[in-house]
Amino acid sequence: MDRVALGKTGLQVSPAGLGCGGHSRLGMRNGDASVAEGVIQRALDLGINFFDTARAYGTEEVLGKIVRQCRDEVVISTKTVFQDRDGHYMPAERLVASLEKSLKRMHLDYVDIFSFHGVTPEHLDHCLHAYVPVFQKEVRKGKIRHLGITESFRQDPTHEMLKAAVPTGVFDVVMVGFNFLNPGARDEVFPLCEKHGVATQIMHAVRRALSNQEVLLETVRQLVESGEVSTLDVNVDDPLDFLNAHASVESVTEAAYRFCRHEPGVSVVLNGTGSVAHLEQNVAAINSDRLPESLLSRLDQAFGSVRSVSGD
């Protein structure tokens, strides 16, 4: 698999990254560690060297078990939440303890990227002032190589948090929601990241609206009602008929990954699954060519103005 530069970090990563969360959590949602181990090992065999996890996913331990044998060849990204169950900010010391627990679970001395997870616009200032200075010390200690931040795409589909966070120069990597149902990041985030040398991890490349026809129909119905999508551009009874009919497209999922992979400003496209077969299909899609210009133009005509949904 090819390697691409991860922003200004100096790291070289696979354009396909394995997301260890999502619905399947590598198969761990059913408590089957052997399935997760098989998915991770197959990802390595396919050339994936970027792995994104989090304490909340419950996959750090199984990930560490496999990748610590080839630690120098992989890039590990993990994350922490910053609020307790009552919505109160946790003290910075508790977040540092979360980092220590993550390292212990994975049997690692350091992580390549440590991110504040699911930050919304109203919480950014607190993260910048209460947490970042503390974690910059952890960077200097060598426990973290690069700081990152992830948005909450469902709550912040216009990327207000990232538009404010990227110019601070604090974060080397950001996780951003992007798909052809809401391609707003190409205008709002990617140019900003390229200007500041910030790498991007793409989440939501394929979510429910792109894998479940009923969810897609309901999403498009809402977008038509809001005026973001026109019935002149989309068949409301089969919104992606033009995509499915194209000879170069195997499936909506395949097209969705290709769409993200070749977008300027994209570093890594995350895919998550508990199935080796699905992993192989996803990687094949990400390794495929850019979608034909005619399809890209049609997708832009249909959904290019959408900014209100995440596709979930």
pTM: 0.96
Mean pLDDT value across residues 232-248: 96
174, β-bridge pairs: 149, 200
Q: Indicate the domain borders of the chain.
A: 4-303
Question: Which residues contact residue 194 at a Cβ distance below 8 angstroms, ignoring those fewer than 6 apart?
Answer: 264, 265
Q: Is the pLDDT of residue 87 over 80?
A: yes
pLDDT tens digits, 173-214: 999 999 999 999 999 999 999 999 999 999 999 999 999 999
Q: Output the DSSP codes for 141-187.
A: HTSEEEEEEEE-TTT-TT-HHHHHHGGGS--SEEEEE-BTTB-THHH
pLDDT tens digits, 254-276: 999 999 999 999 999 999 999 99
pLDDT at 120: 98
pLDDT at 309: 97
Q: How many residues does the chain have?
A: 312
pLDDT at 22: 85
Mean pLDDT value across residues 218-234: 97
State phi, psi for 12 to the nearest 5 degrees.
Answer: -110, 125
Pick the CATH number of 4-303 from 3.20.20.100, 3.40.50.12280, 3.40.50.2300, 3.60.15.10: 3.20.20.100
Measure the CA–CA gap between 287 and 24, rounded to whole angstroms.
22
pLDDT tens digits, 13-65: 999 999 999 888 999 887 789 999 999 999 999 999 999 999 999 999 999 99
pLDDT tens digits, 278-304: 999 999 999 999 999 999 999 999 999
Average pLDDT value for the chain: 97
1: tokens are 């698999």
pLDDT at 143: 99
Torsion of CA 177, 11, 20, 206, to 10 degrees: 30
Other Cβ atoms closer than 10 A to 120: 12
State how beta strands 144-151 and 111-119 pair. Answer: parallel
pLDDT tens digits, 97-135: 999 999 999 999 999 999 999 999 999 999 999 999 999
pLDDT at 23: 83
Question: Which residues contact residue 260 at a Cβ distance below 8 angstroms, ignoring those fewer than 6 apart?
Answer: 178, 179, 202, 205, 266, 269
Name residue, tokens 């429910």. 208
Measure the CA–CA gap between 96 and 127, rounded to whole angstroms.
13
Name residue, tokens 């049609």. 298
Measure the CA–CA gap between 220 and 29, rounded to whole angstroms.
30
Question: Which residues contact residue 88 at a Cβ distance below 8 angstroms, ignoring those fewer than 6 apart?
Answer: none
pLDDT at 24: 86
pLDDT at 194: 98
